[in-house]
Structure 1
Amino acid sequence: MKVDLIDPRDARWEQFLAEIHHDFYHLPSYVSLAAKHESGSPIAFYAEDRDAMFLAPLLVKRIPAYLSPPGSWFDATTPYGYPAPLLWPPGDDQALERFLQVFRETCAEHGIVTAFFRLHPLMTLPQSALVKQGALVRHGQTVYIDLSITHEDFWAQLDRTHRKDIRKLMKSGYEAHIDDWNHYQDFIDIYRETMKRLSATEFYSFSKGYFNELRSVLGDNLHLCTILSPEQEVAAAGLFTTFNGIAQYHLSGTADKYIKESPSKMICEAIYAFSKNAGNKVFHLGGGLGGNNDSLFKFKAGFSSLLLDFYTYRMVLDEGKHAMLIKFWRQKYAPVADSAFGPDFFPSYRQLPHTAAEAA
């Protein structure tokens, strides 16, 4: 078996992607961008075994200094989104089990203690192999729209309130525009306004540099949808991608002034129409925060009854080092009540009091 930890400049990364169905989250350029925002080093675990291949994009991060790790210890996580490991052939459970075992051994040799993966709801892996090498955790469901349905069927499947609100907005003079990049700064301002209103964590405070580089990295695969009010103000806006037949809802926001009108509902209708006309096969809206069945999930479920399971996957790669880190963590936070910590956070030694579970 050929095994290596490769960086985004390694030609094998792009060559692997050329051979297998993937999403934009798997691109080395996107992983590199995410590394800047998430303070990690972009790598991929690459392996070949006879006719089987495996690629796992990751961000490697140094273990926090407050845990006093005795040496260069690291952990790994997937970038923001759904950059799940990719397997060829996709359903080969025996190959996946072999690759995961060698992944464990290789990462441990490089001082990587744990690995956390957000799995792609549309690109499933054999669960029988996953559960033998780590912990598979189901968080909830995500929503998608089959873009082969007619526009009439799309309207018919909408939640009654969604359908009523969208028609009311259109009748009132609201308009949807795709790829009018003159409004990109308006989107950024509205997105930040929305995150502040929702008291979102610092992670979601993407810089202007991030947004500019995201557009540079994804090029024509990144799209901007803006909803203009009758006064020609940007009432809501969102970024979405179209890549390899998949439309993905990425980031969005609604201006404080227009919250009651719910203009974001028009964004989803506009993305559906644009993505269908462009020949894509599915529009993935995603799920609730952390995969939960919350108000965000219910909003998205109002557009389609088609659901997918969302999982994360966790691996302890070095049991001895992991046990030491847990010990250090417990010593540091022993005075803190257990109720201050979420039961689902992984790796637990990175959790700070009142930190929500890591499963976006």
Structure 2
Amino acid sequence: MIEVIEEKKYWDEFVSSFEESDLYHTFDYHMVAKEDGIPVLLKYSHANTCIGLPLLIRKIPNTHFKDATSVYGYPGPLCKNIPDHFDSAQFKNELLKYFSSNQIVSVFSRLNPFIPQQHRVLKNIGEIENKGQVVSIDLKKPIDLQRQEFSKRLKGQLNKARRHCTVKKTENDKELQMFMDIYHENMDRVNAKTMYYFKDDYFKKLIKSNSFQTETLLAVHNESGEVMGGSMFFYKNSIVHYHLSGTRTKYIPFMPTKLLIDEMRIKATARGLTHFNLGGGLSSADDSLLQFKSSFSKTMLDFYVWKLVVNPEAYHSLTEKFKLGNHDFFPLYRCNNQLVFSTK
């Protein structure tokens, strides 16, 4: 049967019972990233098998229906004691029973490329779709072997950056504010979409969480003492993620973000972490952002999303009502009020 967990204490205890989990599964991250959704962790147990599926339940405007989505990032189901011959039929039945009884029309979740059993758990339940690739640095390799995968151009850029700036970790509110200001300056410069703008409270809650570690690094110009740029990373268990970054316009030629990523690579390796996820390109494209990240590593992982239509009749009715034409978007009826999907 499905048990719904909504309280932090029980949510944290359940997530910590899995050997493989990421910060995107935590209660704290869901509370930071929930927007207009209600965070729930669906717990399924049968014999020795246990599955946890974190979701955000949202009302569909002007209807009595709801839908479910995942937080932005790399969540998906947690699982343990999943046999090679796992039959998802009973799990599927229990999920559909829960979704139907709660008037949930559709479900969407981003999956985690570092938890391979997610595909086995969701097999024959809806559709799993490849949305592109993400770049990962294998931190299990020695530091010098990691660096061998850097492009020649990147190595030269890092040498230049190290001559001109010093890296430090933010240690107080004033330094965190510097990062937030630089980040928003960067977003303004590139005409970023609304989804990439975050309120100050978002950054502060990430820093304060004790469910995962957040580290923000600043690149300081050696001559002027001015902060050139900053990058935010966070991690839980063995995976560190490159989250946000920004560079002051006048310091773009120094490319401080590349130096900050390299510094976090060195730090994470020393801490015994195993994977450094740099993410992918905007809208799943093989674009300049993906090329920037792939200059650090040749390891590319496929990134997938999971889509499930629970109530086809209601889904069709909602889609017709909104008269949409972008058939790649899911759920289609939210196309008008949602922004472009990204694997960043």
2:68 is paired with a residue whose SS is: strand
**What CA distance in whole angstroms lies between the structure 1 residues aligned with 2:41 and 2:9?**
10
Per-residue deviation, residues 134-177 of structure 1 (Å, max 9, x unmatched): 11110111111111222222222211111100101112x21112
**Cα distance 1:203–1:268, how it changes in 2: closer, same or farther (>3 A)?**
same
Q: Matches of residues 276-291 of structure 1 in structure 2 within 5 Å?
A: 276-291=269-284
Question: What residue number does 1:143 align with?
Answer: 135
**What CA distance in whole angstroms lies between the structure 1 residues aligned with 2:36 and 2:309?**
21
1:276 counterpart letter in structure 2: T
Is the CA contact (8 Å cut-off) linking 1:92 and 1:126 kept in structure 2? Answer: no
1:351 is paired with a residue whose SS is: helix
Is the CA contact (8 Å cut-off) linking 1:93 and 1:126 kept in structure 2? Answer: no
**What CA distance in whole angstroms lies between the structure 2 residues aligned with 1:210 and 1:353?**
22
* Structure 1 residue runs without a partner (length 5+): none
Q: Please tell me whether residue 177 in structure 1 is matched to residue 168 in structure 2.
A: yes
* Identity over aligned pairs, percent: 29
2:209 is paired with a residue whose SS is: helix
**What CA distance in whole angstroms lies between the structure 2 residues aligned with 1:287 and 1:315?**
24
**Cα distance 1:92–1:3, how it changes in 2: closer, same or farther (>3 A)?**
farther
Question: What residue number does 1:167 align with?
Answer: 159
Which one of the candidate residues 236, 247, 262 is aligned to 1:243? 236
Q: Matches of residues 134-283 of structure 1 in structure 2 within 5 Å?
A: 134-171=126-163, 173-181=164-172, 182-218=174-210, 221-230=213-222, 231-283=224-276
- TM (normalized to structure 1)? 0.89
Q: Matches of residues 11-90 of structure 1 in structure 2 within 5 Å?
A: 11=10, 13-20=11-18, 21-35=20-34, 38-65=35-62, 69=63, 71=64, 73-90=65-82
2:269 counterpart letter in structure 1: K
RMSD in angstroms over aligned alpha carbons?
2.1
**Cα distance 1:218–1:95, how it changes in 2: closer, same or farther (>3 A)?**
farther
- TM (normalized to structure 2)? 0.92
**Cα distance 1:354–1:130, how it changes in 2: closer, same or farther (>3 A)?**
closer
TM-fit CA distance, 1:218: 4.2
TM-fit CA distance, 1:262: 1.3
**What CA distance in whole angstroms lies between the structure 1 residues aligned with 2:181 and 2:257?**
15
* Structure 2 residue runs without a partner (length 5+): none
